[in-house]
Amino acid sequence: MISITVENLVKKFGTQVALDGVSLSIGAGEVFFLLGPSGCGKTTLLRNIAGFYTPDEGRILFGTEDVTHVPPHRRNTGMMFQSYALWPHMTVAGNVAFGLEERRLPTTEIRRRVAEALASVRMEDYAERKIAQLSGGQQQRVALARALVIRPRALLLDEPLSNLDAKLRLEMRSEIRRICKESGLTAIYVTHDQKEALSIADRMAVLDAGRIAQIGTPEEIYRRPRTRTVADFIGETNFLTGKILSIAAESALVETTIGTFHGVVADPVWQPAPGCPVTISIRPECWRLREAGEGPNVVTGRIGESLYLGEIAQYRFLAGETDLKMFELNPRPSARDLERTYAAEVDAADVVILQH
């Protein structure tokens, strides 16, 4: 278990800047996610931490040790790739033992550590099977065991679940977190899957164009995005433009074309003034439909479309010329009259005010 610190990291490929002064600190034993859209720099950052790339500026620390120019094999990290990279001609045990054999450990020690690693991923009964005899989820567990068996200081994962079907991805999310916590591993996990990150991470960093847009816990990132980019990338949301009518501490009253909204300013370093143009973000599940209502944080309209998905219903709510997406939990869509006018209400705590 070790902390990892990245200080002012810059990485260029020709004239393209892939990482532009990235800094972050990851605590010992933390499961930390790097996420963002394609090309944002998350995989480049992971490869710098692994030692596959050398940064042009900045440094990387494992604890107090500067590993910026230490080669990958001397950093003692376990790396798990999207493709798994397993040897098809070897057995499960042979694949897991490979790294230990390269280190020339005694045979008895290799056997013991392979058995422990396979037990940790619940694959001990498959030790003598060939890779081709395994399902995708089982192969993923073998790749994880191979990364764990060397007893790494940190586990680095590059979109490890992207090749699995939806059911297996759900199963392996909790398994990866369990294994990391039981093993006391510091883990850095790259993904573009927001649900994956929200369900596993202790904290996460959202990258945008080679820079960190925001770092926080899953709840902080989802409920208090500090930029439009973060709000748009993590989950679904409704954006409305308006201007500040009044402001007090971290809350403000915003006027929009469909009504006024009390909300919260999520970015602590931004201080908007009355008259300032802003954007507000409201998650679809935060709305509550009522038969009638008026005042701040209430809009009136009708349901244009309804999509029933079992545990939720998705509505396209028509408020004048503005379309809003709304989710209703445990719905009875048949009870909703598409010709009727409704009031949709949202709490001030769920209205996030962003820079326009």
Where in the chain are the domains? 4-228, 236-355
DSSP state of 91: B
Kindly write down the DSSP assignment for every residue of 94-159, as one continuous string: HHHHHHHHHTT--HHHHHHHHHHHHHHTT-GGGTTSBGGGS-HHHHHHHHHHHHHTT--SEEEEES
Kindly write down the DSSP assignment for every residue of 224-242, as one continuous string: S-SSHHHHHHSS--EEEEE
Closest CA to 134 of 96, 97, 101: 96
Give pLDDT tens digits for 267-304: 988 889 999 999 999 999 999 998 888 889 999 999 98
What is the pLDDT at residue 333? 67
Q: How many CB atoms lie within 10 A of CB 88?
A: 8
Q: Could you tell me the strand order of the sheet in which 65-66 lies?
A: 16-26, 4-13, 57-62, 65-66
Residue 200's H or E segment, with its range, is helix 194-200
The CATH superfamily holding the domain 4-228 is P-loop containing nucleotide triphosphate hydrolases (3.40.50.300)
Matching CATH number, 236-355, of 2.40.50.100, 3.40.50.150, 3.30.1280.10, 2.60.40.10: 2.40.50.100
DSSP state of 271: -
> Residue 269 burial (CB < 10 Å; 0-12/13-18/19+)?
exposed
Residue 172's H or E segment, with its range, is helix 166-183
**pLDDT of the chain, 356 residues: tens digit per residue:** 799 999 999 999 999 999 999 999 999 999 999 999 888 999 999 999 999 999 999 999 999 999 999 999 899 898 887 776 788 888 999 999 988 888 888 999 999 999 988 988 888 999 999 998 988 888 888 988 888 888 889 999 988 877 777 777 787 788 888 888 888 889 999 998 888 899 999 999 999 999 999 999 999 999 999 999 999 999 899 999 999 999 988 889 999 999 999 999 989 888 899 999 999 999 999 999 988 888 899 999 999 888 888 888 899 999 989 999 999 888 776 767 777 899 999 999 999 999 98
Q: How many CB atoms lie within 10 A of CB 132?
A: 9
